[in-house]
Chains A and B, each alone.
Chain A
């Protein structure tokens, strides 16, 4: 019955390659800690916690409640849909180019991991369209918390996730972290622009630019207020920031649901704190679903996590593929 924290990291199977050892991603489940889905663990998850509230959802009639009713739904690019496998010759050519030109892989990875993988992870949390079944994470935000199904609400939830990644990116070495942040923001605004024009059918560039500027100033405000909450080390300040932004300053807020979101955010920050720079930089982080819980780690488990990370990224003979080179720390 006890919630058990299990290490969800499989030992990497180091395959042999002529240029060194390749990291086999298919063997790796992802480095993160979470409670195994026992009855007790799932009943403690933020999603279930919010559901336990006996206060009914009070709908404010003055809030516009318009579902995102797209003219056309943007298709997911191939790299978002499945694990993309390059043919062997393309891989070898890529490795050769990286090796010959001594390319800085941390810089390149900022685009593919920070700007691409991490962005679509944030975006998918609350993406929803009219008359479509909500995803597991979106159901938490819209059905359980009762937030309005609007584009602006999607923006608020996405920026909350982006901020959590910002917090971790700041703890990377300055040059690398800044690059990851920049790529993430660039992709975010490019995507908003695309969604406004294609899905929301706003054809006028001037209007879109005006919206983008508005979203940008909102982003500055949200990041500043959430940073303030993090630095204050107080849930009360975090509650105010989340109430103002995610809950749209709703005076009829259900405080149990507000607490569930606080728990959700703290849980993610905890996982981000425990993951090493290298694993984070290589895209090993995944958001813990609102239906799962995280248990704090014992010192032995922290050691174990460190050991598994090292086994994954360091080969026994010291040779790794040129594309796997990185200056990011394995220990912190």
Chain B
């Protein structure tokens, strides 16, 4: 009975995690997918196929583009073994507390509570800084910027 309840609580966490935004650029580890796999494991739920596919894509692309051995790096940060999740430790209380926090994060509770002005978001010293950064990241860091804009940054330091 209780394992069923744990499964339900974990399912709630997984469905909330699935709504998290996708990373703009590929990283060695992704919060969204790693946590989906973790909570599926804890709740005894099948990992969604889309997440598994993404994981496989990640592994193959990292191999071809970087000299760093991604698996070697991962070994230092997290183990791939299932028993490392220590799922016996999780009770419904713990999972519902985790869910509450995850929901606060998903709803940007603190971003809204501590709302900041345009002063920081469009800094007067560098008004285009964040727009340009997001623009480049949205292209996935793949498309290089133009020759002239690059030189403008080098010469003036402005974005």
B-binding residues in A (CB < 8 A) = 53-56, 58, 60, 62-64, 167-178, 224, 227-228, 230-240, 243-244, 248-256, 258-259, 262-263, 266-267, 269-270, 272-273, 294, 296, 332
A171–B123 CB distance below 8 A = yes
A236–B116 CB distance below 8 A = no
Most buried by B among A236, A253, A296: A236
CB closest residue in chain A, given B93:
A54
- Closest chain-A Cβ to B71's Cβ sits at a distance in Å of 13
Taking CB atoms, residues of chain B closer than 8 Å to A296 are 113-115
Taking CB atoms, residues of chain A closer than 8 Å to B30 are 240
Given A234-B111, A256-B101, are A332 and B32 also a contact pair (CB < 8 Å)? no
Given A171-B124, A256-B101, are A249 and B77 also a contact pair (CB < 8 Å)? yes
B61 located at the interface, meaning its Cβ lies under 8 Å from any Cβ of chain A in the complex: no
A251–B78 CB distance below 8 A = yes
CB closest residue in chain B, given A58:
B86
Taking CB atoms, residues of chain A closer than 8 Å to B130 are 227, 230-231
Given A167-B120, A240-B31, A255-B98, are A263 and B105 also a contact pair (CB < 8 Å)? no
B79–A62 CB distance below 8 A = yes
Taking CB atoms, residues of chain A closer than 8 Å to B86 are 58, 252
Most buried by B among A173, A224, A259, A294: A259
A171–B120 CB distance below 8 A = yes
Taking CB atoms, residues of chain B closer than 8 Å to A240 are 20, 23, 30-32
Whole-angstrom distance between the alpha carbons of A161 and B139 in the complex?
28
Most buried by A among B89, B114, B126: B114
A170–B129 CB distance below 8 A = yes
CB closest residue in chain A, given B94:
A55
B111–A233 CB distance below 8 A = yes
Taking CB atoms, residues of chain B closer than 8 Å to A267 are 110, 114
- Closest chain-B Cβ to A331's Cβ sits at a distance in Å of 11
A174–B125 CB distance below 8 A = yes
- Closest chain-B Cβ to A305's Cβ sits at a distance in Å of 14
Given A173-B125, A178-B125, A231-B130, are A294 and B31 also a contact pair (CB < 8 Å)? no
Given A236-B106, A256-B97, A259-B105, are A56 and B120 also a contact pair (CB < 8 Å)? no
CB closest residue in chain B, given A177:
B125
Whole-angstrom distance between the alpha carbons of A34 and B86 in the complex?
39
Whole-angstrom distance between the alpha carbons of A64 and B20 in the complex?
30
B110–A62 CB distance below 8 A = no
A255–B105 CB distance below 8 A = yes
Whole-angstrom distance between the alpha carbons of A322 and B53 in the complex?
65
B149 located at the interface, meaning its Cβ lies under 8 Å from any Cβ of chain A in the complex: no
B24–A228 CB distance below 8 A = yes
Given A228-B134, A262-B110, are A252 and B38 also a contact pair (CB < 8 Å)? yes
New A-B contacts (14) at CB < 8 Å, excluding given A240-B20, A273-B120:
A55-B89, A56-B89, A62-B76, A167-B123, A169-B125, A170-B123, A171-B125, A174-B126, A230-B120, A244-B27, A258-B105, A266-B114, A269-B114, A273-B119
CB closest residue in chain B, given A224:
B133
B110–A239 CB distance below 8 A = no
B108 located at the interface, meaning its Cβ lies under 8 Å from any Cβ of chain A in the complex: yes
Q: Which of A172, A239, A256, A259 contacts B31 (CB 8 A)?
A: A239
Q: Which of A171, A178, A249, A294 contacts B78 (CB 8 A)?
A: A249
Given A62-B75, A252-B85, A263-B110, are A168 and B120 also a contact pair (CB < 8 Å)? yes
CB closest residue in chain B, given A271:
B114
Taking CB atoms, residues of chain B closer than 8 Å to A172 are 123-125
CB closest residue in chain B, given A270:
B114
CB closest residue in chain A, given B110:
A266
Whole-angstrom distance between the alpha carbons of A93 and B103 in the complex?
59
Taking CB atoms, residues of chain A closer than 8 Å to B59 are none
Taking CB atoms, residues of chain B closer than 8 Å to A236 are 20-21, 105-106, 108
